[in-house]
Amino acid sequence: MFKPHITVACVVHAAGKFLVVEETINGKVLWNQPAGHLEADETLIQAAKRELWEETGIRAEPQQFIRMHHWIAPDKTPFLRFLFAIELDEMCATEPHDSDIDRCLWVTAEEILQASNLRSPLVAESIRSWQRGERYPLALVGEFNWPFTV
């Protein structure tokens, strides 16, 4: 049976810049969007909000769905990555609560697209999706008959 890892990520944009999280993996400094795995007791939107707060200290709601990427990592790990858009009025201060995150940076799309230190090619592809205007209602990934909804 095929059992992909399910992850969420957020493209966070403000004042012409995008938020990246910087982490050191195997001694290499890498950039990623705020992202992480879906937990068993949460919806995709809840996971995106949680990961955003853990990795950046920002409390914000995903506003739109960008796309779902079905990806096989170089180590052959399969992923389904749900990507959300968050537009902020201004670049805000960050305070990561996840010890795996070294710091957060506000950078241009071009800096991301030209970077040689992306955690995966999905980081740049996410920016290209944003640039193409791929934004859809969150209802596309809504939960159904969710037992944890209050």
Please report whether residue 143 resides in a domain: no
Q: Is the pLDDT of residue 149 over 70?
A: no
Q: How many degrees, rounded to 5, is the angle at CA 106 between CA 12 and CA 7? A: 40
Domain extent for 92: 5-137
Block residue for tokens 């950039």: 31
Q: Is the pLDDT of residue 119 over 60?
A: yes
- Reported as a pLDDT band with limits 50, 70 and 90, residue 114 is very high
SS3 at position 87: strand
pLDDT digits (tens, 9 = 90+) for 77-93: 999 999 999 999 999 99
Alpha carbon 60 to chain centroid distance?
13
Please report whether residue 116 resides in a domain: yes
CATH number reported for the structural domain that contains residue 14 in this entry? 3.90.79.10
Number of domains composing the chain: 1
Region 5-18: what's the mean pLDDT?
98
Please report whether residue 43 resides in a domain: yes
Region 102-112: what's the mean pLDDT?
98
- Reported as a pLDDT band with limits 50, 70 and 90, residue 135 is very high
Please report whether residue 69 resides in a domain: yes
Q: Is the pLDDT of residue 146 over 90?
A: no
